[in-house]
Amino acid sequence: MGQGFFVTGTDTGIGKTLVAAALLRRWRELGWRVGAMKPVASGCRPTPEGLRNADAESLRAECTLPLPYARINTYAFEPPIAPHIAAAEAGEEIRLAPLVERCRQLSSECDRFVVEGVGGWCVPLGDALTTVDLARELACPVIVVVGLRLGCLNHALLTVESIRHCGLTMAGWVANTADPACERQAALVATLERRWGCAPLGRIPWLEDPSSQHAAVHLSNLP
């Protein structure tokens, strides 16, 4: 059985997909079979084949398995809004059972795979369901992407506190420069290193071309 990792972040738009794709690229370079899931996505665009999400397609491009799009992105919604609102407007209910089953199937086919969450750590998926419940059900170690920008320490510390409170393991964290104007970035990273007792898996600077290829070279420690 392959090892999966749940990739979450300190907020929306802080580089989860970039980091997840970079991890897939590095593992692929080691000769491993890799796969991915972006189970829930909003902000999808209509295509002749159905709704498609750019993040899910980026992950799919890094997979060694020829996965059909639906296995990567099960729940796709067009409006760029919170997924539980988008699901309600579409008359759909996000259910965990099919996502868990697809994760198990992926585990049997891969050496390494990622499951990328939507938004931050505790995004509602339904009236009584959040991404925390999804992560619990999948029971994968969690990789936290910390978007380096003003306010990130509070978001990062609260995220990891919740992960540990849920009984899940933090497999590592990645510091990604989400705002090139963010000051004292080295001090921010050092603060989290002291608090968590571990160095980041990588520290990604601001990239003018934020591709997985350019990000992967900054991942110095692979889980």
Residue 166 CB: number of other CB atoms within 10 A? 14
Name the active-site residue from 16, 26, 28, 38: 38
In whole angstroms, give the CA distance from residue 222 to residue 206. Answer: 20
Q: Note whether 20 and 35 are within 8 A (CB).
A: no
Would you say 157 and 195 are in contact if contact means Cβ atoms under 8 Å apart? yes
Strands 34-37 and 112-116, by their bridges, are: parallel
Cβ atoms of residues 41 and 20 within 8 Å: no
**Which residues have CB under 8 Å from 12's CB, separation 6+?**
119, 120
The amino acid sitting at 82 is: A
Residue 217 has what DSSP assignment?
T
38 classed as catalytic: yes
Q: Which of 157, 159, 76 has the alpha carbon at shortest distance from 122? A: 159
Q: Which residues are catalytic?
A: 38
